[in-house]
A and B are shown apart, each in its own frame.
Chain A
């Protein structure tokens, strides 16, 4: 059991984001880009070369994973988690250092990528199995198991293009889950399917982990990471900054999230959306609706979330997700699901306001993830754009439980109780 399954030494991955290195999609783009780069060169002198702008997605990562360990990789967007998995699964080559991988490694970087819509479920099981590195004989031996797990015997000979998205995800996960490699690399696959299937998948994952196979697991859901893994590695800007028991790593990650949140959001590099954003989120804060104090709200009281932007675009929309301290989403507030009470105001300036009638959350710390849309496209997105504290309050004249309550939400309610 103490054999080394994965060992990396000063592993690094560099991406060139300079001109001429990213691969242009069309000749036209190529010409436009060449012209632009010429323009830049004229403006700034000839100092900027194509080699000039490089980003280290991963830098000097040296870790050792023993056979049978279940390791969670934690970190912000763009911290290098997926890059590390891609190197370990041989999809991309490292730029520096090395990694030794002992035994067959299977990766679930995105389930169902090998599916072809014109092929039937049966044909896709064989194709996808082969893509994941299974032998034909292995797939045949596990075929019934896979079909049973996915629970879709009656659709086996239907082309996958007629499947609902839930069905194809189920089938894809079923194939992947029966891969039985010695090392399993998993990236956010449990975020798919309905709740029942997620539970089944999670059970399968812990079964895999308990069979003594090595698992490296990436998820934003810290609760799942803590449930599955013993060890956690925190990546920050491509470096492994914490490596230890999963609880400690998660605590460290939450602390780093909060530290990052107090900064000006424009400094953050871990953003979603296109690289040529027309509008960015510059600030986000939550205020108590009565006291007006930022970052703290008393449960049961109204609150207001203010998102500040760099640019007002047509068709600006915003989605806020409130996430608990374990990384589990609690509620989504989406301006695209519009209601008569919503207003669009040309006097408002570059900001979005979201008023909450009543914070019906249990006391604790929460964070807000934000996604900004404009011109029908995702412009910007940030995880943990702000943190706030819910203090014990009263909801519907009933005091909130202060400790020992399960869940995150308080629902206003009333009882009728019998009397003897």
Chain B
């Protein structure tokens, strides 16, 4: 398994040097692999290849290609604007409702797709998991990483739409990487945990679309978080997407007051999601090939 220990005949030496390392394989308990940076580094090329595969495969033989990255949030925006904005008259904190919804739907689409694809990643690659060793965490991680391509495309489109509408984003857009990191950490934890449960109980497959729907309505996407009174508003940010979505609106639409409290709570909560998901994944990873 040791990458640096390839012993080559001198005339075609590609990788040189170290003595081969001995790996002891024995029953393990507790935490073992996922959190071993050395192991992940060894297989870094595989991580890249899996993410590249997921990106390529997603749009190969699709008629619209990367346009799908944009169609999904825009479609939801239209529906939400008609039903919630116009018919139900839901408040949008003084912003044009369409923009209000779209700025939230762009990060949400990333989150929802990453959750769906990440949770299925181990099961849909079961042939690989049962035949070959590699750090299994690359499967959900690769699916999530592939989602960044879509996110980048839709962020560009979002910026264009916002500018065309005549709204000038605030300097807070510089905080977007932080917001995206919060979102990625949360979805990584969720996808790692659910993909691991999915290996044993395929029920997860049916629970996930439902969960995504519930999560959509539990997040202030169609409505503003200001509908909630304090302290419930801040407490609701335990859902990491609350801080992310309100952060996106603040950055792109320049909402009056910065939602620092929401972002702070969501960041802490995302780290808890991440730690819990990875910890569970790590504990059950060793049995994946036995039960998948």
Q: Which residues of the other chain, B, contact A107 by a CB distance below 8 angstroms?
A: 131-133
* Partner among A25, A103, A109, A127 whose Cβ is within 8 Å of the Cβ of B49: A127
> Please, what's the 1-or-0 string for B180-208, where 1 marks a CB less than 8 Å from any CB in chain A?
00000000000000000001111100100
Q: Cα distance A113–B25 when bound, in Å?
A: 24
| Chain A: interface residue total (CB-CB under 8 A) | 54
Q: Which residues of the other chain, A, contact B289 by a CB distance below 8 angstroms?
A: 86, 91-92
* Partner among B2, B132, B201 whose Cβ is within 8 Å of the Cβ of A109: B132
Interface residues of A in 75-121 (CB under 8 A from B): 86-105, 107, 109-110, 113-114, 116, 118-119
| CB within 8 Å for A104 and B2 given contacts A22-B291, A92-B289 | yes
* Partner among A94, A134, A181 whose Cβ is within 8 Å of the Cβ of B26: A94
Binds A, one of B7-15, B101-109, B268-276: B7-15
Q: Within the complex, what minimum Cβ distance (angstroms) separates B219 from chain A?
A: 27
* Partner among B15, B23, B130 whose Cβ is within 8 Å of the Cβ of A135: B15
Q: Quick check: A116 and B53 within 8 Å, CB to CB?
A: yes
Q: Is A123 an interface residue (CB 8 A)?
A: yes
| CB within 8 Å for A99 and B134 given contacts A23-B200, A23-B292, A135-B45 | no
Q: Is A326 an interface residue (CB 8 A)?
A: no
* Partner among B2, B5, B15, B24 whose Cβ is within 8 Å of the Cβ of A99: B24
Q: Quick check: B26 and A113 within 8 Å, CB to CB?
A: no
Binds A, one of B56-64, B87-95, B112-120, B157-165: B56-64
| CB within 8 Å for A138 and B14 given contacts A90-B133, A99-B24, A126-B49 | yes
Q: Quick check: A110 and B131 within 8 Å, CB to CB?
A: yes
Q: Quick check: A100 and B291 within 8 Å, CB to CB?
A: no
Q: Within the complex, what minimum Cβ distance (angstroms) separates B232 from chain A?
A: 34
Cβ-closest chain B residue relative to A107: B132
Q: Is A69 an interface residue (CB 8 A)?
A: no
* Partner among B25, B43, B132 whose Cβ is within 8 Å of the Cβ of A88: B25
Q: Within the complex, what minimum Cβ distance (angstroms) separates B57 from chain A?
A: 5
Q: Quick check: B61 and A118 within 8 Å, CB to CB?
A: yes
Cβ-closest chain B residue relative to A22: B291
* Partner among A30, A95, A119, A141 whose Cβ is within 8 Å of the Cβ of B201: A30
Q: Within the complex, what minimum Cβ distance (angstroms) separates B94 from chain A?
A: 46
> Please, what's the 1-or-0 string for B1-36, where 1 marks a CB less than 8 Å from any CB in chain A?
111011111001011000011111111100000000
| CB within 8 Å for A119 and B56 given contacts A23-B200, A90-B1 | yes
Q: Is A133 an interface residue (CB 8 A)?
A: yes
Q: Quick check: B202 and A123 within 8 Å, CB to CB?
A: no
Q: How large is the interface on B (under 10, 10 to 19, 20 to 34, 35 or more residues)?
A: 35 or more
Q: Which residues of the other chain, A, contact B206 by a CB distance below 8 angstroms?
A: 27
* Partner among B1, B48, B203, B291 whose Cβ is within 8 Å of the Cβ of A104: B1
Q: Which residues of the other chain, B, contact A91 by a CB distance below 8 angstroms?
A: 130-133, 289
Q: Which residues of the other chain, A, contact B201 by a CB distance below 8 angstroms?
A: 23-24, 27, 30
Give the interface centre of B6, B61, B289 by most chain A CB atoms within 10 Å: B6
* Partner among B23, B57, B131, B202 whose Cβ is within 8 Å of the Cβ of A26: B202
Q: Cα distance A114–B139 when bound, in Å?
A: 13
Q: Within the complex, what minimum Cβ distance (angstroms) separates B131 from chain A?
A: 4
Q: Is A136 an interface residue (CB 8 A)?
A: yes
Q: Quick check: A25 and B2 within 8 Å, CB to CB?
A: no
Q: Cα distance A26–B62 when bound, in Å?
A: 30
Q: Is B127 an interface residue (CB 8 A)?
A: yes
Q: Within the complex, what minimum Cβ distance (angstroms) separates B165 from chain A?
A: 38
Q: Quick check: A92 and B290 within 8 Å, CB to CB?
A: yes
Interface residues of A in 114-161 (CB under 8 A from B): 114, 116, 118-119, 123, 126-127, 130-138, 141, 159
Q: Is A288 an interface residue (CB 8 A)?
A: no
Q: Is B283 an interface residue (CB 8 A)?
A: no
Q: Is B79 an interface residue (CB 8 A)?
A: no
Q: Quick check: A118 and B56 within 8 Å, CB to CB?
A: yes
Q: Is B216 an interface residue (CB 8 A)?
A: no
Q: Which residues of the other chain, B, contact A88 by a CB distance below 8 angstroms?
A: 25
Q: Within the complex, what minimum Cβ distance (angstroms) separates A117 from chain B?
A: 9
Q: Cα distance A211–B286 when bound, in Å?
A: 33
Q: Quick check: A131 and B25 within 8 Å, CB to CB?
A: no
Q: Quick check: A132 and B132 within 8 Å, CB to CB?
A: yes
Q: Which residues of the other chain, B, contact A135 by a CB distance below 8 angstroms?
A: 3, 14-15, 45
Q: Which residues of the other chain, A, contact B168 by a CB distance below 8 angstroms?
A: none
Cβ-closest chain A residue relative to B49: A130
Q: Quick check: B128 and A180 within 8 Å, CB to CB?
A: no
Q: 11 pairs across A/B with beta carbons < 8 Å? A: A23-B201, A23-B292, A90-B23, A93-B26, A103-B7, A119-B56, A119-B57, A126-B49, A130-B46, A131-B128, A182-B5
Q: Which residues of B are at the interface with A, using a C-beta cutoff of 8 A?
A: 1-3, 5-9, 12, 14-15, 20-28, 43, 45-46, 48-50, 52-53, 56-57, 60-61, 127-128, 130-134, 199-203, 206, 286-287, 289-292
Q: Which residues of A are at the interface with B, using a C-beta cutoff of 8 A?
A: 15, 22-27, 30, 86-105, 107, 109-110, 113-114, 116, 118-119, 123, 126-127, 130-138, 141, 159, 180-182, 211
Known: A90-B25, A91-B130, A182-B5. 19 other contacts (CB 8 A): A22-B291, A26-B202, A27-B202, A93-B25, A94-B26, A97-B26, A100-B25, A102-B23, A107-B132, A109-B131, A113-B131, A118-B60, A119-B53, A119-B56, A131-B134, A133-B3, A135-B14, A138-B15, A211-B9
